[in-house]
A and B are shown apart, each in its own frame.
Chain A
Amino acid sequence: MKTCKYRFWAWPWELRRLAILGINARNLDYLFPLNPRSSYHYVDDKITTKQICQEQGIPVPELYAVIDRFGDLRKLPKILSPKKEFVVKPARGAGGRGVWIISNQDNNFFYTPQDQRLTFEEMRYHISTILSGLYSLEGQLDRVIIEQRIVPHPVFAPLLVSGTPDIRIILYRHRPVMAMVRLPTRASKGRANLHQGAVASGINLQTGITCGGVYKNKVTDIHPDTGVSLSGITIPNWDRVLEIAIQFGRVVDLQYLGIDIILDTNHGPVILEANARPGLAIQIANGCGLIKQIGNN
């Protein structure tokens, strides 16, 4: 392997040559002209996203309940007691904030996949903070989603320490331009968000095979916790993954869109949520710039 001087700095013209999309250009050249404000609510509110998917026959995690008033907190024992495992999340949250995954329930105690024990009171308080708008995008009053917990596809098992991996697909004018699979790490506390410390690997759009990856803005090829290579994993049902992403993209009037899809063992690919302001680390995961990919498509 040839070694050369490690770069601590990239010049703007070098990034331009690699066709890297910066955050200012993303906002001004893509989000503003392609995503009308009036359509943001399709993706900012996860309940609306779910409804759209259901209308279009796109599979989504099963919705157990929606809590939209503090008064509904009384019904909480009735809602939660029959469910062994479930996910609690804010309808208008972002960046995985406020999402609680419960993998087991026993004697009014809830257990997370990391074996953290939560009391019923803690759960009730968390739900009330979501309702207050603590995690909502604009800090407004929010609704709480209680939905099915997805069982991740075994293809990711060697890479997993905890949490659920998801696939992020960027659609430009309803066509997929870039994709990556995001895998939770110990540092990300089971979340699949890159800025919280998750690791991601780029996916070849044609073959559905992973190659390379990114961890904390650095190019990597191995999972930081398991040490397993991130490259060479063939995503099962890849065509179906792309198909549901395109199908969803066509319905909402957003032409630059990030769609998060989870591979469920039993139901195959399901849409978890969509993002009208998708992040840019996907470029490091794929080792190439978005502007180039957009040009190629």
Chain B
Amino acid sequence: MLAYSIKRLLTLIPTLLAASILVFLFVHLIPGDPAAILLGDTATPEEVAQLSAEMGFDRSLWVQYMLWLGNVLQGDLGTSIFFREPVLSVIGNGAETSILLATMTMVWIIIIGLPIGILSATKHGTWMDQLTSSGAMLAASIPTFWLGLYLIMIFSVYLGWFPSSGFPSLSDEGGLSNLRYLLLPSLTLAAPNAALIVRLVRASMLDVAREDHVRTARAKGLHPSRVAIKHIFRNALISVAAAFGFTFAALISEAVVTETVFSLPGIGRLVVQSILRRDYPVIQGVILIIVVLYMVINLLVDLAYARLDPRVSLK
């Protein structure tokens, strides 16, 4: 498996490079002098000229790309115009929030989505199946920010059970109980994604249930729930596992809206604010990191695939 992972990582490199070129070009696609853009509106012409020379903006694009790439590989993603700090540390500040949010959301998705999906499939054809299927589709149609606003209104404003904004770090006072700040946001983010998982699990299980080996399992006199879990669900997991990986990746971008609604100091909100503030180095840095993350997730999904389906050979 290690050899396979390394091989796959190697094939990722061309795609990573191509994506990095796109990210690099991003700043240069913006109309205007890149150095002026990077320094922001308050820069003087001398500062602009100086940065231009430093960054090599007067040299060819290829050279600039190489310089940039070299910096990136050493961990230097540039400097934020707004914060006047290295981009990497700015992003790092938001990482804790975003990672915790994504993890909590995945937990909700698994504990809500999987059981309902399995239930829906096993009760196929009954009113329960109709209800959960339509309900899932409805839940997937709700805009996350709208759901978030209403959860805030009900649970924060009227009931006062949960806080409506912000997130103190776990290392601040309150410790783990600070996670309650992430409860509503993670539920908001989980709802539409759990719905998609429900539908996917249901569809996959119904497909598998028609296969011959399920009939064999029944012919062995196994209890129906054992057949449903060990023979139907386990086989359906093959298709579902890939979706989990991509859901996690999608969470990264969807978190943007949720973090804005709940004013969470995460990377998503950072991106939006940076866009509004025209803080291009930060935008560039975040995108780059997210792209890399996406590809790593792809790789993990492939590995999981091989683990779940013995027929897939790691060649």
Pairing of A with B: no
